[in-house]
Amino acid sequence: MRSRFLIVLAAIVALVLVPSFVFASGQQQGGGGEIVINWPSIWVGQDAKAPAIDALVEEFNQANEGKIKVVVEPNPDYDGYRDKINAAIAAGQVPDIFIFNPDPTTFQYYEGDLLMDFTKDLNGAWGKQFVPGTIKGATKNGVTKSIPFEVGVTPIWYNQDLFDKAGIKEFPKTFDQFWKDADRLKAAGIVPASQMTGGSNAWTSMLWYSHILASIGGQDVWDKPLTDPQYVEAARIMQRMFQEYTTKDAVGADAGVSGGHYLAGRTAMFINGPWYIGRIRDEAPEVYKATKLTPAPQVKGGKYGAQIAFPLSNLAAASTDDPARRAAVVKFLKWLTKPENVAKISESAGSLFAIKYEVDRTNIDPLQLQFIDALNNASFAVSHFQANFPVDVTAELGQGFGAMALGRMTPEEFVKQLQAVANN
Amino acid sequence: MAGRKLNKHWKGILLFLLPVIVLYGLFFVYPLGFVFTVSLTKWNGVSAMKFIGFKNFIDNFGNQNFQLAVRNNFLWAFALGVVQITLAATVAMILARRPKGWRVLRTVYFLPNVISKVAIAMLWLAIYNAEFGALNAFLDMIGLSGWTHNWLGEIETALPAVMFQEVVYIGYFMIIILAGTMSVPESYYEAAQIDGANVWQQERYITIPMIRSILVTAMTLAVAFGLRHFEATFLMTNGGPANSTTVMGLILYKALAALDYGHANATGATLIIVGAIIIAAIRRFLSSRDAVAESKQ
Amino acid sequence: MPGRELTLTDIIAKTAKWLILVFFLIMTFVPIVWLIISSFKTNLELQTDPFSLPAVWQFQNYVDAIQVSGLPRLFVNSIIVSSLSTVLNVIITSMAAFAFSREKFRFQNTMLNMILAGVLVPIIALMVPYFKIITGVGLYDRLWGLVITYAAINLPISLFLIYGFMRTIPKELEEASIIDGCSFQQRFSRVVLPLSKLGLVTAGTFVFLFSWNEFIYALLLTSSMRARTLQLGIRFFKSQFITNYTSMYAAITLAIIPSIAVYIFFHERIIKGLTSGALKG
């Protein structure tokens, strides 16, 4: 009987250890010196960009058959993806290529020697393909270790049909007018604006906050530290928005709820980027037709006409000593950022990019056209709150908006709370 | 250890312990070493770790948010360890009496555990929603409109709301306790019946003492679940409103996202230590004597 | 039933009993019914009116769910991973629990307490070390990687449960078998193990469900369809800004049907086995 258990035990040990040695996969070198580039990507599955990107990867692989192969690893869940990338980097295994959302927290990736340095590569013709300022935005301490790719532009959206119903002829240009119009909307049984406190960044409301700050602080708004009174002034407006002019479920709502209210025609105002065009066109065609984009109202004494535009996704790569591998990665990134290719993605997905490309104004989604025009016609553009503060400060916004909405926190206390987290 | 005889079965013991020791060593001892080491440093995962002693722990304990999280975790431990176990035991004792359809019920009650937590969280988000949620709609319908709330968005109601949807799914513990009641001999109840004991008395004096050990096991496990609670809160409130529903697991998660490995791991270490103390206390105070323990002395 | 007449207490007990049972029945069915109905709606309907019947039943959601996320393969992977991790975990923890509960040896209590403390470890804190381990032994993107990880993660909890149940087995039964000439292993396989069935099933159920529903490590430790599990397929319907809830619910519903079937099939047999030998006079 002893032998039976020895056998069982041996079987277990074998079951556990043998596969690891037999199937151990080391650094991937495909057949005959082919360079394999692993790209964990979130632009897969239901992401609007997925088909175009898949096609581009396919084309690249075919053109470089036997020499370079790009393998996309699908990671549709964004939070999970970010966690995975962080874990891989901390474990010392930076993926060959990856995507990240640029903000002060993620720019820490630039430290040390983990990422490929593109500074020199971008000095020439490649760099000229990019919209001015975008490369600078990806440069820290004189070093550019990521490629700006997708950008977000998030004007204020409003539903013209609902505005008509409330008797409002044009979008208010000042906040004094805004409050009056918001009251008119309420009188007509329409909730003025979608707000939210959920998710990791209270997205809709964070963008409202950014718009208001842009109006108060102008082009240098983000140079001012949290101790500047502009943050309290903007917070006061947000408190009023939450307490009087939004849905009952705004505190605790996530992006699905906030967007859902706008799509359902319950709220008259919303904020989001061009990636949302597909959804609104497919799910709420009437609202899609009635949607107009505009700058935010002007705060008293502030500026008018700003737009919020920010780097949404940058591409980064693991640094490597192998010159052939380095060249392969750069080749692929140049391919992805080729103007014709970017135009293809933009056309099919509605997204906007940091690369200059020709827009065919006759053959483009009308809402997407509004986005492009909004950016072009802006008096100035600044990025959003999230791009200028570490992840935990941004995460605190939602909690603070909720607290203010519930009357548990004053705008002053709200900003103090942000400072506390920032100094932690 | 002079004078203490080596257990004559030591070869068998070693053999039986080896797989667990190896796997545990690899997947717990080494990673926990990582956790406790990093908890004493400042690290963002990219640059070198910087040793800072207990500063992360001190920061945590002085942080209002963290204190709130600890309090909430204790509340969760109570909600699951006491409330949920009581409900599970009650249902188990009812089903043990074999009422009509008990077999079907036994299977059905377990079904929610088979569905992913994400789906259940989504459902309850929809139920609790202030604009179009079922709960408020129901209250309106029965004339209690004054009782409607933004359940997940108000500080007084958010934590109970999240707790409710977790506590109410008793399937797992119910099955354990139910199987435990099966081992109580039928004859005991018959004798008690003849003696004139009613249902309550039968349960109190027969069933409960006999399943005591299983109840303690289940309760200890539930308390552990409460202390390490994370998912439902993350999915439903993300710690809000105003950080009122935050738990240690969530603080850990957010610190990781902020590339603050020092504080994240300090939170983890705190959770483990606090939890270990509580569990040890429970085992000490509630554990009944058992057959082998008696012979150990 | 001989003896007493129906008293007020009895009536209260009976009513309370049925109220409780019905309450939990409702709590159980609501999610399932809601999930299924929601899976036939459009996303807009879900946002605006989540508790009504769909205007038009969107069977397309199911077509999407099957075609687009590769559910069948992922389902098979989930079955394999969950079953293997459960079996591995239960075998080795029952062996260890036997040693801890029926024998005396050096450092016994220390080791036991150390392992049990593992129940409290928040596993999200372990992403970096686990990533290093699994990639280090070459099990990245392998079903085996997940099997071992899940089996290991649940060692403390299984040990806790099985040890807890084994402790209550009376020493006399074993002593009888020793007199009969049973060896160490025979005591385990012939006497103690059969009597700990409840503990084994309790632990096994937990490990299986854990492995089935686990997401974070399934994402972290795999990269392709050959090793990915059902939970990843379901998340497929999320993207950075938009979640396609209705198709996701269709996918979840599709996943539940076989899950429930498997559960009913196995659990019925297991419970039968558990309770058939348990009634002693």
Q: Which helix (H) or strand (E) holds A292?
A: strand A291-294
Instruction: Say if residue A180 is in the same domain as residue A216.
Output: yes
Is the domain of B146 the same as that of B2?
A: no
Give one word for A26, left, alpha or beta, with left for phi > 0 and alpha for psi -120 to 50.
beta
Q: Cα separations (Å) of C27 from B109, C32, C228?
A: 9, 10, 31
Examine the domain organization and report whether A203 and A320 are in the same domain.
no
Averaged pLDDT for residues C47-75: 85
Q: Tell me which long-range contacts C18-22 makes (C-beta under 8 A, separation of at least 24).
A: C20/B90, C20/B91, C20/B94, C21/B91, C21/B94, C21/B99, C21/B105
Mutation pick from B5, B11, B21, B28 vs chain C, by most beta carbons of C within 10 Å, is: B28
What mean pLDDT value characterizes chain B? 87
CA distance linking residue A295 with residue A306, whole number of Å: 6
Quick check: A211 and A308 in contact, CB under 8 A?
A: yes
Of C28, C130, C168, the CB nearest to B290: C168
C51 versus A39: which is more confidently predicted? A39
A374 in any annotated domain: no
| Domain-ending residue, one of C22, C44, C61 | C61
d(CA A99, CA A73): 12
The count of domains in chain B is 2
C111 and C217 share one domain: yes
Total residues belonging to chain A = 424
pLDDT per residue over A88-110, tens digit each? 999 999 999 999 999 999 999 99
Is B43 contained in some domain? no
Instruction: Output the six-digit token pair for A390.
Output: 């570490």
H or E stretch at A242: helix A230-244
How close is the nearest chain C Cα to the Cα of B182, in Å?
6
Supply the DSSP string of A315-352, one letter for each residue: EEEB--S-HHHHHHHHHHHHHHT-HHHHHHHHHHH--E
pLDDT one-digit tens code per residue, A266-307: 999 999 999 999 889 988 999 999 999 999 999 999 999 999
Question: Are B241 and A6 an interchain contact pair (Cβ–Cβ within 8 Å)?
Answer: no
CB B87 within 8 A of CB B202: no
Shared domain check, A100 and A55: yes
Q: Are residues C156 and C209 in the same domain?
A: yes
What's the complex ipTM? 0.89
The pLDDT tens digits for C131-175 are: 999 999 999 999 999 999 999 999 999 998 898 888 878 888 888
Cα–Cα distance measured from residue A293 to residue A305, given in angstroms and rounded to the nearest whole number? 12
The pTM score is 0.90
Interface touch B153/A111, C-beta < 8 Å: no
H or E element that contains A213: helix A203-217
Please check whether residues A337 and A223 belong to one and the same domain.
Answer: no
**A:B CB pairs within 8 Å:** 112
Q: Which of B13, B22, B46, B67 to mutate to test the interface with A (most CBs of A within 10 A)?
A: B46
User: Crossing angle for the helix pair B134-141 and B117-128, nearest 10 degrees?
Assistant: 40
Residues B96 and B125 in one domain: yes
**Which residues of chain C are within 8 Å of residue A90 when distances are taken between CB atoms?**
128
Rg (CA), chain B: 24
Peptide bond connecting B241 to the previous residue in cis, omega within 30 degrees of 0: yes
Cβ <8 Å between B176 and C184: no
Inter-chain touch A197–B240, beta carbons under 8 Å: yes
- Which residues form the domain of A103? 2-147+313-361
One domain for residues A193 and A271: yes
How far does C199 lie from chain A, in Å, by closest CA? Answer: 21
Selected residue with higher pLDDT from B284 and A62 = A62
CA distance B200 to chain C (A): 8
Cα atoms in the Cβ-side hemisphere of radius 13 Å centred on A254? 18
Q: Are both A66 and A137 inside the same structural domain?
A: yes
Evaluate if residue A6 carries a pLDDT over 70. Answer: no
Indicate if C136 and C96 belong to the same structural domain.
yes
For B124, the domain range is 55-295
Question: Is the predicted pLDDT of residue B289 greater than 50, yes or no?
Answer: no
Residues in chain B: 297
Asked whether residue A210 falls in the same domain as residue A269, the answer is: yes
For residues A317 and A304, membership in a common domain is answered with no
User: Which chain B residues touch A if contact means CB-CB below 8 Å?
Assistant: 15, 18-19, 23, 44-47, 59, 63, 129-131, 133, 150, 152-155, 158, 237-243, 254-261, 263
Which chains have 3 or more CB–CB distances shorter than 8 Å to chain A? Answer: B, C
Q: By the 8 A CB rule, do C239 and A46 touch?
A: yes
Q: Does A409 contact B242 at a Cβ distance shorter than 8 Å? A: yes
Task: Mark whether C180 and C213 lie in a shared domain.
Answer: yes
Q: What is the residue whose two structure tokens read 């004007």?
A: A155
Which chain A residues are within 8 Å of B158, Cβ to Cβ? 252
Residue of C52, C91, C154, C168 for testing the chain B interface, max B β-carbons within 10 Å? C168
DSSP character string of C145-164? HHHHHHHHHTHHHHHHHHHH
pLDDT tens-digit map of B109-161: 988 887 778 888 888 998 999 988 889 988 988 988 889 999 999 999 999 99
The answer for residues whose C-beta is within 8 angstroms of residue B173's C-beta and 6 or more apart is: B84, B85, B88, B89, B218, B221, B222
Number of domains in chain A: 2
Tell me what pLDDT residue B40 has.
Answer: 97
CB C274 within 8 A of CB B138: no
Same domain for C36 and C149:
no
A408 lies within 8 A of chain B by CB: yes
H helices of chain C, in order, are 8-38, 43-48, 60-69, 71-102, 108-117, 127-136, 143-153, 155-166, 171-179, 184-186, 193-195, 197-213, 216-220, 230-235, 245-276
Inform me whether the pLDDT recorded for B1 exceeds 80.
no
Domain identity same for B166 and B203: yes
pLDDT in tens, C14-50: 888 899 999 999 998 888 888 889 999 988 888 777 7
Query: Quick check: is C258 in a domain?
Result: no
The reply to whether residue C120 touches residue B279, judged by beta carbons under 8 angstroms, is yes
The pLDDT score that the predictor gives to residue B296 is 38
On whether both C189 and C78 belong to a single domain, the answer is yes
Q: Is residue B46 one of the residues assigned to a domain?
A: no
Determine contact, residues A385/A230, Cβ cutoff 8 Å.
no
Return the number of other C-beta atoms located less than 10 Å from residue A281's C-beta: 18
- The confidence score (pLDDT) of residue C257 equals 79
Give the mean pLDDT of A212-236.
96
What is d(CA A150, CA A129) in angstroms, rounded to the nearest whole number?
Answer: 14
Mind telling me how many Å the CA of B248 is from chain C's nearest CA? 9
Q: What is the span of the domain harbouring residue C158?
A: 70-241
Q: Is residue A371 part of a domain?
A: no
Beta bridge pairs of residue A306? A380
C181 touches chain B (CB under 8 A): no
- Residue B166 has a pLDDT of 94
Q: What is the CATH number of the domain that holds C164?
A: 1.10.3720.10
Instruction: Answer yes or no: do A278 and A210 share one domain.
Output: yes
Give residue A11's pLDDT.
65
Q: What are phi and psi of B246, to 5 degrees?
A: -65, 150
Domain count within chain C: 2
Average pLDDT across chain A, whole number: 91
Q: A114 contacts in B (CB within 8 Å)?
A: 46
Domain match, A262 and A331 both: no
In this structure, the answer to whether residues A211 and A66 fall within a common structural domain is: no
Round to whole Å and give the CA distance between C249 and C229: 16
Do C166 and C223 lie in a common domain?
yes
* Interchain proximity A77–C219, CB inside 8 Å: yes
Phi then psi for C39, rounded to 5 degrees? -70, -10
Mark whether B83 and B203 lie in a shared domain: yes
